[in-house]
Structure 1
Amino acid sequence: MLTFEQKQKVIEEFPNLTKKEVSLKRLNYHLDESIYDKTVVVQHLHPNGNGFVYVGDLPGYEPDSRGLHNIRLATEEELTQAIADSIRLLTTPYEPIEEVWVDERGNELVLLEELDAWNIYFEEQLEDSFGDYQEALDYLAEQQCTKKE
């Protein structure tokens, strides 16, 4: 496990992050050029080595409900990667996923990511809504739909 000082050194290798002291001797690191309201990349880095990196819902991480990934046990490489991924996430314009699926009768269904939901439309009418992508895929499989290439 990296010490507080070692984590600070890794974080401060990213010159576009700004350090801000918060309560209980913890530190936050902000990304001023974030294109979103969210600017905190590293949250509550504590002298005991605990802290969090904002990763949203990026694959490969286990974030909490706020999109924060715990870095207490992170290696230098893992911490560097998480910070780089966070910066990329906060500086890349969001493009919702849209997929076209076809049912067994040839009808087209559109799977669209909207506001933290996965919605399925048939002829511009909302057919169903799901909390995550896998739930929507399971529904489409039950309906014997195939993804249109």
Structure 2
Amino acid sequence: MLTFQQKIHILESFPQLERRDVSLGRVNFHYEGSIYDKKTVGYHLHPNGNGFIYAGRLDRSDVNDKGFVNIRDFTESELRQLVQQSIDSLSGLSASYSGSPVPGTGAAAISGDTSGLGIQAAISGENSSEELWLDPEGTSLLLKPADDLWYVYAGSAIEMVFETREEAEEYLREEGFAP
């Protein structure tokens, strides 16, 4: 069983999550990039070892009536995988998305549209002009052309705008991202 500090460290390793200390020494982690009303990924992580990860949009048998899975006895790899799946599901990616077998490297919060269709097109290659770029920590950005410009999206927010694809790619590479 992982210690409280190990669980906290794992969730803090996901840059998309925001830590929020709550009552009785418990800690929550929120994903502000969620396209749904639900933003809590980590819920009531407690020094006694208890804690929950949101899995309400995943196909799992161990989900409670509020959509959470108890992570008390999870291994590090199980916890990392579930957290990434939770983030992906709140980003609009389908629960069956399997494009990221390595925990912590999934596509999360990358689309400028709230339907998630842009994400699916980027992942499946349906629109070759849109590209998903990842850094070594698993942070995702979407490179997308529109109106003779190239937009870099971080979640639903525009991070940067460039006049040429080459300028956009140079920026992404300098920031440590790769297609």
What TM-score comes out, normalization by structure 2 length? 0.51
Residue equivalent to 1:74: 74
The answer for unaligned runs of 5 or more in structure 2 is: 95-179
**Which secondary structure does the structure 2 equivalent of 1:84 belong to?**
helix
What is the alpha-carbon distance in structure 2 between the residues aligned to residue 15 and residue 26 of structure 1? 20
Residue equivalent to 1:55: 55
The answer (yes or no) to whether the contact 1:56–1:67 under 8 Å persists in 2 is yes
**Paired residue type of 2:52:** F
The answer (yes or no) to whether the contact 1:35–1:93 under 8 Å persists in 2 is no
Is 1:30 matched up with 2:30? yes
The answer for unaligned runs of 5 or more in structure 1 is: 95-149
In the TM superposition, residue 79 of structure 1 has moved relative to its aligned partner by 0.3
Residue equivalent to 1:21: 21
What is the alpha-carbon distance in structure 1 between the residues aligned to residue 67 and residue 82 of structure 2? 12
Report the aligned-residue RMSD. 1.7
What is the alpha-carbon distance in structure 1 between the residues aligned to residue 50 and residue 83 of structure 2? 15
**Which secondary structure does the structure 1 equivalent of 2:72 belong to?**
coil
**Paired residue type of 1:46:** H
Structure richer in strand, relative to its length:
1
What is the alpha-carbon distance in structure 2 between the residues aligned to residue 68 and residue 6 of structure 1? 20
Residue equivalent to 1:87: 87
Moved over 4 A (4+): none
Give the aligned length.
Answer: 95
The answer (yes or no) to whether the contact 1:4–1:47 under 8 Å persists in 2 is yes
Identity %: 49
Residue equivalent to 1:45: 45
CA offsets 1:67-89 (integer angstroms, 9 cap, x no match): 10000000000100110010011
What is the alpha-carbon distance in structure 2 between the residues aligned to residue 57 and residue 19 of structure 1? 21
